[in-house]
Structure 1
């Protein structure tokens, strides 16, 4: 079996770290993993979890999706698969957020992805081989109150990938979107910490009260109760990769796609718990947001 060369963006913690370790520790050694992060000073957790894979099936590199030169440096690797997991969260009322803060979220979550794919696509198209797995969010399908900018950035990711997926079929490439419900990681803790420090002076009293006493008061409990672990999402990502690997070897397209879609739905809806089903119509969207204590009547 040919070893796949995998680049993972955003491996300092959470899903990216869990995925890098799962692929690097694969018993069949099917993957050579390049685990990347913006700040290499944060690699300690990854190094500790890597065991004896470091320098064998795992290599750690610096990658900043803000900087084109950093992306170009990683672009020199002849990649088979790319996992894009780097992201930034933000909660709060838009009156209390600066345009610079909003742009930073969109730049990381959307344009970071665009920059990376723009660099690596020419080689992947030329070789007509590879898979892009983008770890998005359920908020790319449905917005939730006080997550306006984050959800907008994820909606952009969804549209970008859906459009691009059609184009790359001609080049025998595949794009997959993973859209998990809340995941209990350091990412959520960082967002929660940022929300606790937000200056609400620019918001009207009713909005400030809604954020502080309804949304934020319930935030931690709700996200914890609905949350999946990083390992669960990483397992789904690996499942996706292994199935595509089998697809290229066995040409069982219909079977593989059916299983992949079922697994993707399983993870997106957090093991199909009734309270986590993705609500698409207005009435059910209203009901889901009501968990934060909002009265829409």
Structure 2
């Protein structure tokens, strides 16, 4: 029996964290079942991925630029694939936003939705025509437990994840007709550089527009508790990547 060709897997947001670890885990598959296209918005941040990829680089793993917020960037990346064929899409790219809602501008809220919600939809729209034509495909969305349950001071981030959950649950039913499957991965706290950097930034913020009592509640109660949860109970990116990789 002829050996099946490797499945092409495209992952967004691979400069660090879950995306990086998932790309490397799939590329290092002993049976070489996958060819991974690891993408990121800024290729100047590819050094960590290249180091982690080791000898899989340019063999079972290749790196490409892709900005999920740009129609042109998405089209350029998908059009570069042979016959635009993609077996598995992993929507991992995302941004966070924490703080009192009164202090968050509408533009910042839109930025979160542009990446977390519309960015994922932009990717799905780009790959669906070819997946439907072949009657085969798998879409994995790295969501969050906050897509199921809101958390104080994460109002906008949680809303973007709730929106993604509703979109995917609705679309999944339609796609069964075409033998295309959607998997939602909903990790809890994940101890990543992304989370720690976000916490450090918000700790230094003044939050104009929010009343003193709310800012005090946020800084003196929420932030210490959140930091404790992430450092003591947070999952590792490797663990989440391993669980997510089983979906691919």
Which of 55, 71, 76 is the aligned partner of 1:73?
76
Q: Which residue of 1 aligns with 2:224?
A: 217
Moved over 4 A (4+): none
The reply on whether 1:170 has 2:177 as its aligned counterpart is: yes
Within a 5 Å distance, the mapping from 1:251-270 to structure 2 comes to: none
Map Cα deviations across residues 39-85 of structure 1 (whole Å, 9 max, x no partner).
00000000001111111100000000111010001112210001010
Which of 240, 256, 262 is the aligned partner of 2:247?
240
| Residue pair 1:90, 1:195 contacting (<8 A) in 2 also | no
SS in 2 for 1:120: helix
The reply on whether 1:140 has 2:143 as its aligned counterpart is: no
Distance, in Å, in 1 between the alignment partners of 2:95 and 2:208 is 24
Q: Which residue of 2 aligns with 1:125?
A: 132
Q: Which residue of 2 aligns with 1:229?
A: 236
The reply on whether 1:180 has 2:183 as its aligned counterpart is: no
- 1:218: Cα distance to partner? 2.1
TM-score of the two chains, using structure 1 as the length reference: 0.80
Map Cα deviations across residues 144-183 of structure 1 (whole Å, 9 max, x no partner).
0000000000000100100010010000000000000011
SS in 2 for 1:83: strand
Distance, in Å, in 2 between the alignment partners of 1:80 and 1:165 is 16
Structure 2: any 5+ residue segments left out of the alignment? Answer: none
Within a 5 Å distance, the mapping from 1:1-297 to structure 2 comes to: 1-76=4-79, 77=81, 78-241=85-248
Distance, in Å, in 2 between the alignment partners of 1:201 and 1:102 is 16
SS in 1 for 2:191: coil
Q: Which residue of 2 aligns with 1:272?
A: none
Distance, in Å, in 2 between the alignment partners of 1:100 and 1:226 is 33
Distance, in Å, in 1 between the alignment partners of 2:201 and 2:131 is 38
- 1:28: Cα distance to partner? 0.1
- 1:199: Cα distance to partner? 2.2
SS in 2 for 1:191: helix
| Residue pair 2:189, 2:229 contacting (<8 A) in 1 also | no
Distance, in Å, in 1 between the alignment partners of 2:25 and 2:103 is 40
Distance, in Å, in 1 between the alignment partners of 2:235 and 2:212 is 34
- 1:197: Cα distance to partner? 2.7
TM-score of the two chains, using structure 2 as the length reference: 0.95
- 1:237: Cα distance to partner? 1.3
Distance, in Å, in 2 between the alignment partners of 1:24 and 1:85 is 16
- Aligned length in residues: 241
SS in 2 for 1:51: helix
| Residue pair 1:24, 1:58 contacting (<8 A) in 2 also | yes
Distance, in Å, in 2 between the alignment partners of 1:129 and 1:27 is 24
Map Cα deviations across residues 238-288 of structure 1 (whole Å, 9 max, x no partner).
1122xxxxxxxxxxxxxxxxxxxxxxxxxxxxxxxxxxxxxxxxxxxxxxx
- 1:190: Cα distance to partner? 2.3
- 1:127: Cα distance to partner? 0.7
Instruction: Give the RMSD, CA atoms, in angstroms.
Output: 0.9
